Amino acid sequence: MLLSTFSSEKAALKRSYFRPIAGTLALLVFLLAGLEFGMREVYSRVSRIEARTHADYQAALAIRPGGASHPNILLLGNSLLLEGIDYDGLRRAMEPRATPVRFVVESTTYLDWYYGIRRLLASGARPDRVVLCLSLSQLLTSRLRGEYSAFYLIQTPDLVRAGREAGLDLTGTSGLFFGRYSMFYAARNNFRNFALSRVDAPYEKTLHGFTAAPGAQFSDAEILAKAASRLGELRSICSQYGVEFTFLLPPGFGGGAEALAEAGRRTGTMVLVPVPLNSWKEDLYADGFHLNQKGATEFTRILASALLQQPSAVQ
């Protein structure tokens, strides 16, 4: 009798713990789902940067071949591309002979776009040509923009490899998996900056006052060896889908353009340098790295002509 009473009391005790634990877990799931919904449906609309990134991504996925007479060109890159061209002006300058489609993700480098091009093409994007715009140091570095790249640019089967190539530890690599499926997790830092800039004007001014460094310098031998490997990989990915590939070097300062061009010749990769390095004065730059409005207007005109003059193998 005592044993029966003890067993019933034990079961009642378990039930008393189960209900609050289950309720807490349910509330947590509800809150997380709400945060995810809010990020996808609200933040992606009210944030100018996120809205532009999402629209660019959808346009990139939707691109289809236009043919040799009117190629559709997918322009990929980071803030150098965003600040360096007048997108509307470029489209006007190239129509009706070609249509450029832009997809920009800030703070990205070679690794982000190596996996990004793989994912875009595997997901059905079919431009006639992919044009990747990075600085020389961004082509040669092995950084990765973490969870945000996982959300927009990296396929799930590539996450472990991407983390390993970027030198991430197990925690960093597991974060890629969370970021791949959760916009709240992937864009939480963006959202924090967005929220703080709305309630703290000095913070926004300080945030926008940061200037980007041009990056590490490499010897010609390092450039030739590493750039040849990476340009060849990018060209190979695109050729698997019948897509041409071009690497675009934006205006800037420094050396290495000759070694980059040689790497392109050795791998059969088109390397486009519309403005030779060190040829423009600093008054065309906003911070010594990104172009200002005047510089962007001039580069847009030159780039449109260069892209239209590129030979095409598209049939």
Q: Is the pLDDT of residue 222 over 60?
A: yes
- Residue entry with tokens 């996925």: 61
pLDDT for position 315: 37
Choose among 146, 42, 55, 56: nearest CA to 154.
Answer: 146
CB 60 within 8 A of CB 75: no
Per mean pLDDT, which range of 64-68, 91-95, 159-163, 213-217 is the poorest?
213-217
Residue 2 pLDDT > 70, yes or no? no
Check: CB of residue 150 under 8 Å from CB of residue 115. Answer: no
Say how far apart CA 315 and CA 99 lie, in whole Å.
Answer: 17
pLDDT value at position 220? 87
pLDDT band with cut points at 50, 70 and 90 for residue 259: very high
Per-residue model confidence (pLDDT) at position 24: 67
Cα–Cα distance, 146 to 162 (Å, whole number): 9
| 293-298-301-302 Cα dihedral, nearest 10 degrees | -130
Tell me how crowded residue 81 is: count the other CB atoms within 10 A of its CB. 24
Residue 103 has pLDDT above 60, yes or no: yes
Residue 200, pLDDT score: 58
Average pLDDT in the 238-260 region? 96
Q: What is the pLDDT of residue 68?
A: 86
Task: Tell me yes or no: is domain 47-309 CATH 3.40.1190.10.
Answer: no
Residue 3 has pLDDT above 50, yes or no: no
Q: Report the pLDDT value the prediction gives residue 47, as an integer from 0 to 100.
A: 87
Please report the pLDDT score of residue 45 as a whole number. Answer: 80
* Spatial contact of 128 and 244, defined as CB atoms under 8 Å apart: yes
Q: What is the pLDDT of residue 243?
A: 97
Does residue 118 register a pLDDT over 60? yes
Using a pLDDT cut of 90, give the percent of the chain over it.
70
Domain boundaries, the chain: 47-309
106 SS3 class: coil
C-alpha 210: how far from its chain's center? 20
> Residue 74: which H helix or E strand, with range?
strand 72-77
Hey, how many other C-beta atoms are within 10 angstroms of the C-beta on 315? 6
Least confident interval from 7-16, 21-30, 193-202, 217-226:
7-16
In tens, the pLDDT along 134-152 reads 999 999 999 999 999 999 9
| Mean pLDDT computed over every residue of the chain | 87
Q: Is the pLDDT of residue 4 over 60?
A: no
pLDDT at 237: 98
Q: Is the pLDDT of residue 17 over 70?
A: no
